[in-house]
Amino acid sequence: MATVQDGVRYAERVVAGDIIACKWTILACQRFLTDLEQGPERGVYFDEGRAQHALDFYQFVPHVKGRLTGQPIDLMDWHTFILINLFGFVIVLIDEMTGEAVLDDDGDAVMVRRFRTAYNEVARKNAKSTLSSGVGLYMTGADAEGGAEVYSAATTRDQARIVFEDAKNMIKKSKLLKRLFGFNKLNIHQEQTASKFEPLSSDANNLDGLNIHCGIVDELHAHRTRDVWDVLETATGARTQPLILGITTAGFNREGICYEIRDYSTKVLSGVVEDDSFFAIIFTLDEGDDPWDETNWPKANPGLGICKRWDDMRRLAKKARAQVAARTNFLTKHLNIWVQSESSWMDMARWLAASRIDPPEQLQRLPLWVGIDLSNKIDVAAAIKVWQEPDGSVQVASRFWLPEGRIESAPKHIAELYRKWADAGYLELTDGEVIDHLQIKEELIEWVAGESLREVGHDPWSATQFALALMGEGMPVVEVPQTVKNLSEAMKETEGLVKGQRIRHDHNPVMNWMMANVVCKVDNNGNYFPRKATSEAKIDGPVGLFTAMSRLIVGGGEGASSIYDESDVLC
């Protein structure tokens, strides 16, 4: 029988290096151990009884495939680790009207689960669907939720029925589960609590009116649009402790909802984004790992040797090495590697480890360059200060603006970040649906007052009037078109400064998030150009930084020779 301590020991062994794991799995385990110790400081608690209750439920959940069919599932330690995270961590339930803690009949604070969204990415044949079917049954009939609605969703009804059918077969093969649940072709139900578990297809138009307690999205990588995920997320508002669980292997589509959620997962795990409601674990190879070295395979296959056979992996690897056509399938499905995906350009551990900048009165003595990226009028605008020290090191400060009316059009998890950053003063909201250039101009002038300003660089695209307005205030404005010529050396210089620990910044969380969004396109001549990690990602801050750095490199504003034509300089 699995115990909470099995999951805790798994985390400890992963962090200690006793279990081979990729960096994302290690970070997930370290996050768990840190939260066990430090979570109460921010209102996050671990309830061992709740965690064990979920594990105990699996004593009555049988295998439905293979030679162990009918026997109770013996949870693997990595399964246990996921379950105790999802069901063990709790927070105090807050009344949204009063802002006060909700109390039970005894006057004690009501505790609810911490995690509302979970992402589990692992290679095929590691029993992730089996684990998820058990989660679905638990939340249907053992979670003390009246009228629970649980759904398994996928791109097709047949795909959605994989998790559902496994759950139904579990009931058929378990005497206890038969007493808890009834079922028919497309429905599992518990009459006592009026709860149900059903499969859903990806036709989002038919998903309205749901009141979801748990949504399980199978093979998230296959979803071409975000419709299903968004509908499920928005249908949990009436529940006090809902869960949306995405399970998947790697895929190809970097523009889809899966890679977007994966990208967000890596930011949460690496500490770029703080989100106590989001659980993530990713089992894959590390960058630079040899995919043909079988000692690396357990990183993507935590069930290798238990529910997945070594000889089958070796057979598939041999085929993939010999047949190019089979290689992509092996890499994505069995090593959980996103093919044709680009990794984050910045070493975020080094970026986040940078020291904070000096007080304003000390910075005013240093030459300053400012980079502006207005993007477009309905998106984030950024202004980045770059001061240069006498030894060539730099200090960086950031400001960001966003039209308040655009928050609701952003994906839910990004909209929540915007609100959080705005409340904390890191993101300034302008009225309406369109960015207020006049407000930015006035605040920018005030922001650089008293500084040793050399130049304000900007991309001329959609910003000509803004630049002319700054010129009218006597500011030294220069056009810096977003071309390889202008940004490549600036990116390389920034990269070198970070690696050499010769950059300090203000640790604005908006900038940290955007920096982690940057991927690097390299051309045949070795030139760099910044691109977004996903279509929903923003990189306005880093682009503003590169704009300022491009002018710093050539000594713009100091009378030094410049690589720019005279026609580039507006004043």
For the residues 185-211, what does the mean pLDDT come to? Answer: 83
Q: Which residue has the higher pLDDT, 203 or 391?
A: 391
Highest mean pLDDT among 143-147, 278-282, 353-357, 533-537: 278-282
Report the pLDDT value the prediction gives residue 237, as an integer from 0 to 100: 82
pTM for the model stands at 0.77
Contact 454, 476 (CB under 8 A): yes
Contact 461, 552 (CB under 8 A): no
Dihedral sign of CA atoms 54, 58, 61, 63 in order: positive
Pairing outcome for strands 243-248 and 214-218: parallel
CA–CA dist 541, 427 (Å, integer):
12
- Closest listed residue to residue 372, CA positions, set 285, 469, 238, 493: 469
CA–CA dist 337, 343 (Å, integer):
11
Fill in the DSSP letter of residue 334. Answer: I
Average pLDDT, the chain: 89
Report the pLDDT value the prediction gives residue 202, as an integer from 0 to 100: 64
∠ Cα 505 478 357 (to 5°):
10
Segment holding 297, helix H or strand E = helix 297-300
Please name the residue ranges forming H helices in 39-174.
48-57, 77-88, 128-141, 157-172
Residue 146's Cβ-count burial label (10 Å; 0-12, 13-18, 19+) is exposed
Helix axes 77-88, 4-16, angle to 10 degrees: 110
Q: How confident is the model at residue 96 (pLDDT cuts 50, 70, 90)?
A: confident
Q: What is the pLDDT of residues 407-449, one digit of tens each?
A: 888 888 888 899 999 999 999 999 888 888 889 999 999 999 9
Region of poorest pLDDT, from 83-92, 502-511, 513-522: 513-522
Residue 368's Cβ-count burial label (10 Å; 0-12, 13-18, 19+) is buried
CATH code: domain 348-568 is 3.30.420.240
What percent of the chain has pLDDT above 70? Answer: 95
Q: How confident is the model at residue 340 (pLDDT cuts 50, 70, 90)?
A: low
Q: Locate the domains of the chain by residue range.
A: 4-334, 348-568
Largest CA distance in the chain: 85
Q: What is the pLDDT of residues 226-280, one digit of tens each?
A: 888 888 888 998 899 999 999 999 988 777 899 999 999 999 999 999 999 999 9
Q: How confident is the model at residue 342 (pLDDT cuts 50, 70, 90)?
A: low
Bridge partner list, 518: 532
Q: Judge whether residue 566 has pLDDT over 70.
A: no
Q: How confident is the model at residue 130 (pLDDT cuts 50, 70, 90)?
A: confident
Segment holding 489, helix H or strand E = helix 484-499
CA–CA dist 170, 340 (Å, integer):
38
Contact 377, 434 (CB under 8 A): yes
Q: Judge whether residue 192 has pLDDT over 70.
A: yes
Q: How confident is the model at residue 375 (pLDDT cuts 50, 70, 90)?
A: low
Q: What is the pLDDT of residues 282-314, one digit of tens each?
A: 999 998 899 999 999 999 999 999 999 999 999
Q: Judge whether residue 122 has pLDDT over 60.
A: yes
For the residues 79-86, what does the mean pLDDT come to? Answer: 98
Q: Name the CATH topology of 4-334.
A: Rossmann fold (3.40.50)
Q: What is the pLDDT of residues 511-524, one digit of tens each?
A: 999 998 998 888 87
Q: Judge whether residue 563 has pLDDT over 80.
A: no
Q: Judge whether residue 322 has pLDDT over 50.
A: yes
**E strands, 208-292, where?**
214-218, 243-248, 278-282
Report the pLDDT value the prediction gives residue 462, as an integer from 0 to 100: 66
466-501 burial string, b = 16+ CB within 10 Å, else e? bbebbeeeebbbbbbebeeebbbbbbbbbbebbeee
- Closest listed residue to residue 533, CA positions, set 563, 510, 513: 513
Pairing outcome for strands 367-373 and 381-388: antiparallel
Tell me the three state secondary structure of residue 396. Answer: strand
Report the pLDDT value the prediction gives residue 564, as an integer from 0 to 100: 33
Q: Provide the CA 476 distance to its chain's centre, in angstroms.
A: 39
Q: Which residue has the tokens 């002319």?
A: 468
Helix axes 48-57, 77-88, angle to 10 degrees: 130
Region of poorest pLDDT, from 43-52, 53-62, 451-460, 559-568: 559-568
Q: What is the pLDDT of residues 134-178, one digit of tens each?
A: 999 999 999 989 999 999 988 777 777 888 999 999 999 999 999
Q: How confident is the model at residue 205 (pLDDT cuts 50, 70, 90)?
A: low
For residue 102, which phi and psi values (nearest 5 degrees)? -80, 130
Contact 101, 94 (CB under 8 A): yes
